[in-house]
Chains A and B, each alone.
Chain A
Amino acid sequence: MSNEVKQVAAAPAAGPDPLEAPFPSKRMVVNLGPSHPAMHGVVRVVAELDGETITDAKLDIGFLHRGFEKSCENVTWTQCFPYTDRLNYVSSIMNNVGFALAVEKLCKLDIPARAKYLRVVGSEMHRMCDHFTLVGAMGLELGAMTVLIYAMEARDHLWDRLTELCGARLTSSYCRIGGVARDVPEGWVEKSRRTLDRVVEIREEIDQLITRNRIFMDRTRHTGVVTREDAIELGFTGPCLRASGEPYDVRKAAPYLVYDRLEFDVPVGNNGDNFDRYLVRMEELRQCDRILRQCFDQMEPGDIAVKDFRYVLPPKPQVYGTIEGLMAHFKLIMEGIKVPAGEAYSYTEAANGELGFYVVSDGGGRPYKLGLRPPGWPMLAALPHMVKGSLLADLIPTFDTINMIGGETEQ
């Protein structure tokens, strides 16, 4: 008996069983990107595979780096706005607002109530655009092309309203230091309400299409999991942090503009997987709609910018008619706003999380240092952590739900 056991145990050492058809698994290194349709722009993921399992992943970024901070240090404060548009180009007004609030914090400037409401309206509309883009792209990459088309329709409805508001679809440059660039056109609020009706309808349609879809659920549930502790330590913010169960939202934790006057809920997930991150966004779309309708009800006519010519350009009749107006205009254009010397860190809730600006001024018309804290950065940095040990196919939904936007992460 004991002899037999020995023989059985020794058998594998003699050589592999020819019927087992051994498949020597060699570690394979696969490049995804920089130009790959699922890489949303230009990121290179170097994944080391054992069969279909990712054993290690590294990121190579910087293909879209265009020197945001260096450029901003060499232009006046107001001229930074077009640069901030190009950070998260899907939701540019939120970047404008974040930057304007940082400078106003340093200037200790309080802007009129209507300007605050207009900023919130622009921000929340763009938040919806951002979430629709994510949901659409996610559907597309998981094989549901219809969702993308629906989401693009919703996004274009919103972009049409934003075009009427600020004159551009993508690069809005809507804010100014001390207020916003222009007031809403005639009848815009009513039109926006009707637009929101349609957008909410589309959201419901998308919800019905994929939220309970078997393939979609199989590919997103329990993939790309991040626990609450990990998410906090890795510096996650925004929907990705909330999907992991931490209810941190800058709009609630440190309300800015008029968010303390608005009623909205912060959706929080349980599992921290891709499905929760998707659900959080879908719910936030509904909350954005609530916020926007409240803003439309609460907004009252009034000034849209402070009446202080040290910060805001004087009206044209004054520029052409009075010497003070002309001088103020000339000084603002040629020298820029004189921001008091000092440093400040200001943070807002952008679509992907905390958008921070660390501004240092030496008292001149240009930023001495403009540090950008891109919301998507910690999530992208944590991607190797999220996909290690999972299948290569899980990389795609994970990359979708962290919503990496090349413009902001790579500055």
Chain B
Amino acid sequence: MSKAVIAALQQRFPGDVADAYEGVGGDDVAFVSKARIAEVCRFLKEDPALRFDMAPYITAVDYLGVEPRFEVVYQLYSTIHNHRARLRVKVPSGDASVPTVTGVWRGADWFERYCWDMYGIEFPGHPDMRRLFMYDEFVGHPLRKDYPLRGRQPLVPEREVPDLYRGPGPVDRD
């Protein structure tokens, strides 16, 4: 079954899906070019033989010292056919942005925000690109390999309170 997924992808997107291999434990993995990732995902979701209707997990990895430096990893699952696939997208540090897939799976929202928060990878087209865990004034992206383990942050000045009901923070926040 799973071999068919990669084969169908390579047939539909020649040149954009490359280096497919069988990962540890028999996982199906393929590298996808950055520019076409949203299209590839939409195809995977809508093709009746594939139907990857869920994206359980999206994360990023920082391979410091290797170029392209970042990688965004998509774990996909089909509840209909009960098969899985993993897509890896290489992201250069000079242009750390990947087209969003929130239009394909709404559940990708927070995972992409997490990647932005922790790795500084942007997702153009994302409806609500803010930091997820860190506060707005945080400097840097903590999961990058060049961010120190015991990094210190500058003191943040107290926020203005423009609205008594909504508490501190810029007006357009939340």
Contact = CB atoms under 8 A, between A and B. Distances in A.
Interface of A: 28-29, 31, 46, 58, 60-62, 65, 67, 69-70, 74, 105-106, 108, 232-237, 246, 248, 253-254, 342-347, 354, 356, 358, 360, 368-369, 371, 373, 377-378, 381-382, 385, 410-411
A371 to B, nearest CB: 4
25 contacts: A31-B167, A46-B166, A60-B174, A67-B142, A70-B143, A70-B149, A108-B24, A232-B53, A234-B105, A235-B54, A235-B55, A235-B107, A235-B108, A248-B79, A342-B24, A343-B24, A345-B73, A347-B56, A356-B57, A358-B75, A368-B61, A369-B62, A371-B57, A378-B110, A385-B106
Contact of B143 (A69, A237, A254, A343): A69
A31 B110 CA distance: 21
The A interface, classified by DSSP as helix, strand, loop or mixed, is mixed
Given A235-B56, A378-B107, 9 more contacts: A29-B166, A60-B174, A61-B133, A70-B149, A106-B24, A233-B54, A343-B24, A358-B73, A410-B133
A234 B57 contact: no
A106 B27 CA distance: 11
A105 B166 CA distance: 48
B149 A74 contact: yes
A356 B53 contact: no
B30 to A, nearest CB: 13
Interface string B32-68: 0000000000000000000001111101011000000
Contacts of A67: 142
A237 B174 contact: no
B129 interface: no
Nearest to A46: B174
Nearest to B78: A232
A36 to B, nearest CB: 14
B134 A62 contact: yes
A31 B168 CA distance: 12
Contacts of B27: 344-345
Contacts, number: 101
B132 interface: yes
Contact of B106 (A46, A234, A373): A234
A254 B134 CA distance: 35
Contacts of A235: 54-56, 105, 107-108
Nearest to A359: B24
Contact of B57 (A60, A246, A373): A373
Interface residues of B, number: 37
A377 B111 CA distance: 9
* Binding site secondary structure of chain B: loop
Contacts of B135: 62
B132 A345 contact: no
Nearest to A354: B56
Nearest to B149: A74
Contacts of A378: 107, 110
A237 B165 contact: no
A381 B59 contact: no
A354 B105 CA distance: 17
Contacts of B24: 105-106, 108, 342-344
B129 to A, nearest CB: 14
Nearest to B131: A62
Given A234-B106, A411-B133, A58 B174 contact: yes
Nearest to A230: B106
B107 A233 contact: yes
Contact of B110 (A70, A368, A371, A381): A381
B109 interface: yes
Among B27, B59, B105, B131: residue with most chain A CB under 10 A = B59
Nearest to A371: B59
A353 B132 CA distance: 21
B96 to A, nearest CB: 16
B166 A345 contact: no
Nearest to A362: B63
A232 B56 contact: no
A156 B104 CA distance: 44
Nearest to B117: A62
A106 B54 CA distance: 24
A232 B134 contact: no
Contacts of A31: 166-167
A345 B67 CA distance: 23
